[in-house]
Amino acid sequence: MPMAPVSAMAFAIGFPDSYYQALLADYTKKRNRLSDALAGLGLQVYSTPGTYYLVADIRSLGFDDDVSFCRMLTEKAGVAAIPCSCFWNNRSRGKELVRFCFCKKDETLDEAIKRLTAFFGRC
């Protein structure tokens, strides 16, 4: 008789605590590196515990429209961010906030930080 498929969650529950401790340490390091870089560009960064992304206020960079900011950032700096207004019932709320994901390879985060620094350094 074939075995029933195992869900990803059921499989992950079997991992040792050391796996999750290492994952937490790695994500904390990545989060802090990206947070420090964004703050260094003048953004107010909000911690979002238990997630793999940061939320940043874009008004200090002269923007107040998250959708146009994210589009511009992708096209001109080659870095993607997610507009937070997409998560609000009233899209006029949260339009000054964007999400940056930090669950990336270190090389990817390094490149994103380099691109953001170069782009906003010349704006």
Q: Residue 87 domain-assigned?
A: yes
Q: Residue 4 domain-assigned?
A: no
Total number of domains constituting the chain: 1
- Domain CATH number, residue 98: 3.90.1150.10
β 82-83/53-57 pair status: unpaired
Q: Residue 6 domain-assigned?
A: no
Crossing angle (nearest 10°) for helices 17-40 and 106-121: 10
Q: Residue 104 domain-assigned?
A: yes
- pLDDT of amino acid 78: 97
Q: Residue 74 domain-assigned?
A: yes
Residues of the chain with pLDDT under 70: 1-6, 122-123
| 56 in Cβ contact with 46 (< 8 Å) | yes
Q: Which domain holds residue 71?
A: 14-121
CA separation for the pair 89, 4 (Å, rounded): 40
Q: Residue 2 domain-assigned?
A: no
CA separation for the pair 91, 95 (Å, rounded): 7
pTM of the model: 0.85
